[in-house]
Amino acid sequence: MNDFSKFHFKGVGENEEIVRVIHRNWFYIFQQFLLLFVLTVIFFTAIIFVPIFFPDFISAGSREFVSFFENFFLLVIWMYGFMIWIDYYFDVWIITTQRIVNIEQQGMFSRRVSEMEYSKMQDITAEVVGFFPTVINYGDVKVQTAGGDEEFIFRTVSDPYNVKNIIFNMQKKDSLQNTEELGEMIKEKMEG
């Protein structure tokens, strides 16, 4: 097992160990920032070439308005970039020896934390769709409960097939441990 001593979260059980901490794949944030970069390049290109081709467009009276618009656009780009980073950095999935924990950041001031015990899991699916996800090896891992009411989705994680196998193996270990504990309890009842 890896050393996850720097990771902790409220409610870790006494005998519970963190097996894996998972973030989104780097390509997710790259795609998001690439879009911001393209928009910024288009904006600055327009700032440079509009006065050259349309000199009457920016008159002395409208310069303040154009300056305000430039600053406002840069502020919006900076805020949107910060929101992308917050979403990327604070979306975390934690696999422990007893459960999986899903921490999803939803905007600046909202976070959703949910957990699922291995005994409640029914289906684990890894899905890689598209050229870049296949080449870079990232995709979604979906974990569904027995009732089908709740579904955990590990979105755009690296090596989804390995993540699926880790969860499946932990579920198997938990099931075996529960069976052994039940057997011990029955044995004690019969002897006592």
> CA 181 → CA 175, 176, 187, distances in Å?
10, 9, 10
* Neighbouring C-beta atoms of residue 42, cutoff 10 Å: 10
Per-residue model confidence (pLDDT) at position 152: 85
**Domain range annotation of the chain:** 18-24+92-191, 29-87
Q: What is the pTM of this model?
A: 0.75
Contact status, residue 115 vs residue 95, Cβ threshold 8 Å = no
170-180 confidence digits (pLDDT tens) = 988 888 887 87
Half-sphere exposure of 94 (CA within 13 A, CB side): 21
Which ranges of the chain have pLDDT less than 50? 1-2, 4-5
Per-residue model confidence (pLDDT) at position 156: 93
CATH topology of domain 18-24+92-191: PH-domain like (2.30.29)
Per-residue model confidence (pLDDT) at position 1: 43
Residues 114, 119, 123, 128: is their CA dihedral positive or negative? positive
Element (H, E) at 128: none
Q: 3-class DSSP state for residue 80?
A: helix
Torsion of the alpha carbons at 13, 167, 148 and 107, rounded to the nearest 10: 70
Per-residue model confidence (pLDDT) at position 58: 65
151 contacts: CB under 8 Å, gap ≥ 6: 142, 143, 144, 145
Using alpha carbons, select from 134, 89, 118, 91 the residue that is nearest to residue 19: 118
